Amino acid sequence: MRLMEEIESFLNAPPPEAGPVYNERSLQLEIGCYLRRKGYQVQFERTFKAERPSGSSKTPKTNLDLFIASQGEVAGIELKVPLNKRHPETLFDYCADLEFVEALMRTRQVQFGLCLMVTNDRVFWEDSGRGSTIHNFFRREGEVLSGKILKPTGARDTCVVLTGRYTPARHWKPLRGSRLMDSAQYLLIEVHT
């Protein structure tokens, strides 16, 4: 499935009919419509149940942002469009998205998975020197995101458990389609189990 390339193509050269992205829902609709025009079958907010890894204590996710099918293969995509300054919480939520898609892959409900974040808030990718452990995973080259990830605020005994190994800091890329969002970057990670 060429899904990752299709999404990068959309982000780097959005079609003329693509509108600006103001929130997660608008990104979901724009990507979904784009993929449908490319011949993919797209379902929005598909409900799933999947076993989480032992030790995970975050409330389990059930709705997948995008369920994509093509030529007998199926993929799951989770999206984030943080624009409200909830930096550590959004990074933790992105980790929960990774955990959810990993679980769907482990149970073979999808064969391929992606997690995408689009934002114009530099705090997500730029190291200001005032970060936390969770910030460092997304800002510092070489940091590996894997295993038990603790919630950085609020109920700090809450965690997610990732079985895959990810290096988010190296995957940030400038969003070339300024029609989608000015001065933005995106983080697109292929999910592993």
Q: Which of 9-13, 108-112, 174-178 has the lowest mean pLDDT?
A: 174-178
| Whole-Å CA distances, 105 to 77, 102, 141 | 11, 5, 27
Least reliable range by pLDDT among 57-61, 66-70, 76-80, 118-122: 57-61
- pLDDT at residue 162 above 90? yes
> Taking 90 as the threshold, does the pLDDT of residue 130 lie above it?
no
Number of domains forming the structure of the chain:
1
Tell me the mean pLDDT in the region 155-173: 92
Q: Is residue 113 within 8 Å of 77, Cβ to Cβ?
A: yes
CA distance 69 to 43: 9
72 contact partners, CB below 8 Å, separation of at least 6: none
Q: Specify the range with the lowest mean pLDDT, choosing from 12-16, 51-55, 116-120, 132-136.
A: 51-55
Residue pair 30/23 in contact (Cβ under 8 Å)? The answer is no
Which residue intervals of the chain are DSSP H helices? 3-12, 24-37, 87-106, 133-139
pLDDT (0 to 100) of residue 102: 97
Does the pTM of the predicted model rise above 0.85? Answer: yes
Check pLDDT > 80 for residue 129.
Answer: no
Q: Is the pLDDT of residue 62 over 80?
A: yes
pLDDT at 168 over 90: yes
Domain that holds residue 22: 3-190
CA dihedral 7, 9, 11, 13 (to 10 degrees): -150
